[in-house]
Amino acid sequence: ENKKLLAPSILSADFSKLGKQIKIAENAGADIIHLDVMDGRYVPNITFGMPIIEKIRPLTKLPFDAHLMIVEPEKYVADFIKAGVDMISFHMDATIHSHRLVEKIKSLGAKAGVVLNPATPVNTLEEIIYYVDYVLIMSVNPGFGGQKFIPQTLLKVKKLKNLMETTGRTDILIEMDGGINKDNINKISREGVNIFVAGSAVFKGNIEENIKTLKENMKI
């Protein structure tokens, strides 16, 4: 797939003006809203859950992409979809039955994705790849916004593309998340990433200008 989509993460937004900032992002050309859900158990930080998502859902037409950094995600996916989420990704080591969970997410009408931490090898996808809609490659350790891009994680994109070829799943979208900014997004795009998550690079400073620059630079 040659799709290139920018997914601002509201983790770095000003939560006192969340609705307003989402609208600014939408008007500036954001393609997806990325929602970082953290439980203080899978990652050492806590963010937000369904009540917030439900409240912001009517404010934008953009698809919502929930990145679940929580243990036992299977317990909550139905509630997230009810709250208005269109895509859900989870970390495979946060659940016992990954295949069952992917099937559950899809049966509830959402797109299903799995997430690789920086130290998780691409070959852990060898079986689940037949079932997922997208793969999220973390380019920082999950838990916080504003961290530095880990360059080695970019090598995984090529490995994933190879696996997609050999399994006939070239339709899968590749998402990358963490430390993406206007200076490295072009290089990441050239490797074949489709969905670019950006938190601080979007919400710190002028949101509109930031989005325009990122979208310009992600073109190859």
Report the interface residues with Zn ion, using CB under 5 A: 36, 67, 177
To ligand DX5, the closest distance from the beta carbon of 211 in angstroms equals: 13
Question: 3-state DSSP call for residue 52?
Answer: helix
| 70 part of the interface to ligand DX5, by CB under 6 A | no
Angle, in degrees to the nearest 10, between helices 18-28 and 207-218: 40
The closest residue (CB) to ligand DX5 is: 199
Catalytic residue among 31, 36, 39, 133: 36
Build a one-symbol-per-residue string for 30-49: x at contacts with ligand DX5 by CB under 6 A, - elsewhere. ----x-x-------------
The conformational region for residue 83 under phi > 0 = left, psi -120 to 50 = alpha, else beta, is alpha
Nearer to Zn ion, 172 or 178 (CB): 178
Catalytic residue among 14, 133, 177, 183: 177
To ligand DX5, the closest distance from the beta carbon of 202 in angstroms equals: 8
CA atoms within 13 A on the CB side of 117: 13
Nearer to Zn ion, 60 or 141 (CB): 141
Paired tokens of 176: 């990358």
| 213 part of the interface to ligand DX5, by CB under 6 A | no
User: Which of the stretches 17-25, 74-82, 99-107, 140-148 binds ligand DX5 when contact is defined by CB under 6 A?
Assistant: 140-148
**Residue 26, burial from CB neighbour count under 10 angstroms (0-12, 13-18, 19+):** middle
- Binding site residues, ligand DX5, CB under 6 A: 9, 11-12, 34, 36, 67, 140, 142-147, 177-180, 197-201
Q: Which residues are catalytic?
A: 36, 177
